[in-house]
Structure 1
């Protein structure tokens, strides 16, 4: 009887366990996680803090009792895996509640350790209330602080996905928000012109923004910035990045790649064929360029869990490269992207041209319509689509989803003209913005 152990009970780990049980009713499956909760919707935590989601417990998708009762899978929370003995094929586990340590053998081992929020070492950090948002318990700590201290102001360090989502949700609670970002413009995953529009939306909603700045020193409520400025706020949220949890893999001499993630092959195997790595800590490859890529988002983790399960049961499906398709809401705007941005294309010296279509989400005469900007990068000769971005108030997600599908299928920018997309005045136009982009490419 095959024995499969999984390190990590969120996203990828829990999904891999469920998929394996679906295909193999007899295998022994055990999950270990050092956290106190499992299988929670991490992407929903900013909205639980902002009270858009009124009951944070709705983010909990499952618990150990459910996994045991419905799937016959053992889940050990508050249990940390301390080491892997690849030769003997066992792991060393520590019960964080009792301090007891024990060994657990495996036939296959799946690593889904996730990542840890980067909190830079800043002089005076111990004098302030500083939080990061990476886990369910992080969310609870922030909510509890807001409820008990009634803060009036907050500094958010970092203008990426979490930083922007937190800026909106903290502001919606009536708290004054200062957003500080180290680079020239926020959301560096986007092109500058798209990011500048997001900055306007932040300012329109009275979020105080400072780019080209970061916190250099903290003294209680006071934060000194690299540009010489000083902020006075009640608490700080650090959202400057995510470090993959790879110490366990390193100690076991599993290969770590140039992105900092655990190197995996087409079936998510590490350099040890009996050990797999999925999720935020795994290194994959870019669909467009083939170069190493790490995408710490939910979709890749769930897809990789399926790939691992299929490989273990003997029905291998090779993974495809990642596009990094992603989306973020910023007050009344939505921004989404897939594939490569302008900076990456320049960095790799890939010849490309770009087109921009400014239009409506649906029929302009229909009362409920919004403006959107669709931008596509492509090869002027082969017409291959390298990437796309969209910004607007409505219908942004479906346009990027269509283009991500087109890229996966190998369609050219000219093929976008011919896509027969659904139309009715409340939803689109006879020629959808995606179609229009294809026609504009033809004219160029």
Structure 2
């Protein structure tokens, strides 16, 4: 059997390695139009900022290494230009010599990855405008900065790559402007969480413009469609990627709803003996079962291993993805998994929403605040999605949530997890456990929650509410929820006689715990409908910024 793999970054090399582990006799050939193989795209921003000293450390494996280790032939700078699937032949062009040749296969794998999108901007083809996708892109940016010493850079796009490059170039001493066409950064996050990241980015000296589109790039400036002119000596395009699917389409490979190649759980396309893996292939959501496109190196490796196994007689299957991501933005970590609130609404879920603000570990050992937004299905109690922001412990918690959600955990299951505890690492009731407990209580109607957005909407609609701030008077005077009255928790039992038990009542404290205690007091005193403000005053004020 002969396997031809088109593309040799994360997914393509993973196919080859697994196929070889299963079968010593199969002939395996990879063709790659690029110069480099198996490189770390995700590490590129950290080289540009100087955290990674040598660009070569992002390309630890060469074609020669693969040949020696796996007896796999990798041809870089060789582009597959046409495919005749009936004859099972490919035409390959040597990009160094312009010579062409034919090669035949029994099994074909598309690992062609994704191509950066280039927005329709006049001047986007100039020498000081760069994508951030390949090692060659990276070398060109580094060479340009070394030769020209730019002081001001504009980054177009405020997703993962845009924010990572903004962080790194700020550390490098450049004046960074970030432009995003939509009304929030990090589109995978809900706006209330993204706004926290936005303020953090701005506080570190990055100039951020939302709801702006670039119209023209000139030698020393960027002009937006609203007429704003921004001095800029270098421009980075971080406007996303699209699956590199042209070759596959030409031979009749079916595309999925996301626009990437449609595959089954064995990474097989609609054509016999044709597979697709990595950033060119569509995955599916563990939560909804619907198609999802999340181009990440971790998913690409997984898909490649599954295809390599199936091709050589194995029985591995792809189990879908949650769409997990994590990002460092200066001294904040931002993690997310599963559905966002807006995605869950679109999917038709009746959900409970919790904002849980807790220290990552014991306060007396320097625990830093975590903001956890979690949503659960009211019907089944299944955890649908989690977003976390904080300086410490985000990666640990998001991975616990990912593991639990992968096994269809319910909110109440989180409370019963036997998580590792010691004061340097956690609190006695870990934020993950508290999240599950509070969500389940809300689902069971014991302790109803109301988000800042829901509260503001009800007030704007003219609904009469009692809003009780249970904090100390000094805290109340410093900042409070619009329309709230201040009754400290210790005085609530005696002051409750002055309240109307028939009116919908909202209690809150700084982050939620005392608000929950006040909620229980009023419920036990016969108040008919009492809500605790999700995330307390901290979350409300953050939402209001």
Q: Deviations over 1:406-439 (max 9, x none)?
A: 1111110110001111111111112111001011
Per-residue deviation, 1:317:
2.1
In structure 1, C-alpha distance between the alignment counterparts of 2:425 and 2:22, rounded to whole Å: 39
Residues 100-139 of structure 1 mapped to structure 2, 5 A cutoff: 100-126=99-125, 129-139=128-138
Task: Judge conservation of contact 1:128–1:220 (CA < 8 Å) in 2.
Answer: no
Aligned length: 442
| Structure 1 residues 384 and 238: alpha-carbon distance in aligned structure 2, compared to 1, 3 A threshold | same
Residue 16 of structure 2 corresponds to which residue in structure 1? 17
Alpha-carbon displacement from aligned partner over 1:6-32 (angstroms, at most 9, x marks no partner)? 111100001111111111111111111
TM-score by length of 2: 0.80
- Write the deviation string for residues 338-387 of structure 1: whole angstroms up to 9, x where unpaired: 011011112222211111110111111113x2111111111112101111
Cα RMSD (Å): 1.1
Q: How does 1:402-441 map to 2 (within 5 A)?
A: 402-441=400-439
Residue aligning to 1:379: 377
Residue number in structure 2 paired with 1:294:
293
Cα offsets for 1:280-300 (capped at 9, x unmatched): 110121111111111100111
SS, match of residue 194 in structure 1: helix
Q: Decide whether the 8 Å contact of 2:14 with 2:308 is kept in 1.
A: no
| Alignment of structure 1 residues 44-193 onto 2, 5 Å | 44-126=43-125, 129-193=128-192
| Matched residue, 1:243 | 242
TM value normalised by structure 1: 0.98
Aligned to 1:303: 302
* CA distance in 2: counterparts of 1:313 and 1:371, whole angstroms: 49
* Corresponding residue of 1:200: 199
Residues 374 and 23 (structure 1), Cα distance of their counterparts in 2 relative to 1, 3 Å cut: same
C-alpha distance in structure 2 between counterparts of 1:427 and 1:55, whole Å: 34
The aligned residue for residue 229 of structure 2 is: 230
Moved over 6 A (4+): none
- What is the aligned partner in structure 1 of residue 332 from structure 2? 333
Kept in 1, the 8 Å contact 2:115–2:241? The answer is yes
Change (3 A) 1:437 1:49: same
**Partners in 1 of 2:247 and 2:226 — Cα distance?**
39
Counterparts in 2 of 1:217 and 1:421: CA distance versus 1, 3 Å: same
Query: Quick one: higher RCO (CA 8 Å, sep 6+), 1 or 2?
Result: 1
Contact 1:255 1:262 (C-alpha < 8 Å) held by counterparts:
yes
Question: What 5-or-longer segments of structure 2 have no aligned partner?
Answer: 443-545
Q: Is the 8 A contact 1:128 1:219 kept in 2?
A: no
Contact 1:128–1:218, Cα closer than 8 Å, also in 2: no
Bigger radius of gyration, 1 or 2? 2
